């Protein structure tokens, strides 16, 4: 609910203030892996979270650009700043292999790469899919995610990002069942109370077995 919260509480400069709010939240929670949607692909956001000691896992946009690390020729004497961006990654040309994710077969590829969206190297994980009845000429669709936690396996990266979808269903339930997007209060205190009550009601409904 972070973007909605910031929009309501800080209606003016959302970009600048939302970063400050995010930094404040991230500095008061245990260090760990922060999972974000592709709308958060922003170098300033990643830099702030990484500086606090967190790792990130984020979905990449379809037009995201990644680069292999630059390979230094040991016979050349380089001057100035050392390059870090090498050849641009061609997603379809990655080496895909078959793995099992959540009990289902999947075609995946991964690589340690650079992206200008993040100040440090990331592990890029790509899953390609094709319609069940499509022939070999049908183009693949690609799901791309990347993380700064190099210890995570390919299967774990995909699994963790799938878990994020449960948040989307929680947003839907908050809006449809508890009027989260139809509030009529205006003061910051009233909005804060309304948001918290909506969250509590949604959480209680999730916990009660039916």
Q: Where are the domains of the chain?
A: 55-159, 167-207
Neighbours of 109 (CB within 10 A): 20
pLDDT in tens, the chain (210 residues): 444 444 444 445 554 567 777 888 888 888 999 998 888 888 988 999 999 999 999 999 999 999 999 887 666 666 767 788 999 999 999 999 999 887 888 999 999 999 999 999 999 999 999 887 767 778 899 999 999 999 999 999 999 988 877 766 766 777 777 766 666 777 777 777 777 777 777 777 777 766
In order, the DSSP letters of 56-70 are: EEEEPPTT---EEEP
Q: Give the model's pLDDT for residue 4.
A: 43
Q: Give the model's pLDDT for residue 198.
A: 76
Q: Give the model's pLDDT for residue 1.
A: 41
- Quote helix, strand, coil % in the chain, to nearest 5: 40, 20, 40
Radius of gyration of the chain (CA): 21
Q: Which helix (H) or strand (E) holds 104?
A: strand 104-113
This prediction has a pTM of 0.76
């Amino acid at each position: 609910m972070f973007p909605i919260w910031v929009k309501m509480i800080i209606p003016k400069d959302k970009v600048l203030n939302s970063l400050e709010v995010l930094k404040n939240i991230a500095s008061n929670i245990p260090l760990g892996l922060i999972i974000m949607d592709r709308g958060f692909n922003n170098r300033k956001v990643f830099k702030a979270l990484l500086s606090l000691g967190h790792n990130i896992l984020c979905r990449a946009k379809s037009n995201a650009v990644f680069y292999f690390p630059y390979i230094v020729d040991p016979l050349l004497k380089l001057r100035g700043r050392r390059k870090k961006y090498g050849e641009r990654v061609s997603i379809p040309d990655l080496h895909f292999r078959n793995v099992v994710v959540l009990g289902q077969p999947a075609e995946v590829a991964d690589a340690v790469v650079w992206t200008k969206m993040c100040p440090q190297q990331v592990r890029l994980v790509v899953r390609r899919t094709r319609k069940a009845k499509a022939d070999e000429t049908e183009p693949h669709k690609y799901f791309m995610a990347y993380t700064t936690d190099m210890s995570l396996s390919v299967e774990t990266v995909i699994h963790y990002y799938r878990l994020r979808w449960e948040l989307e269903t929680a947003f839907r339930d908050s809006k449809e069942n508890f009027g989260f997007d139809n509030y009529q209060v205006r003061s910051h205190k009233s909005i804060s109370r309304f948001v918290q009550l909506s969250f509590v009601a949604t959480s209680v409904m999730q916990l009660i077995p039916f």
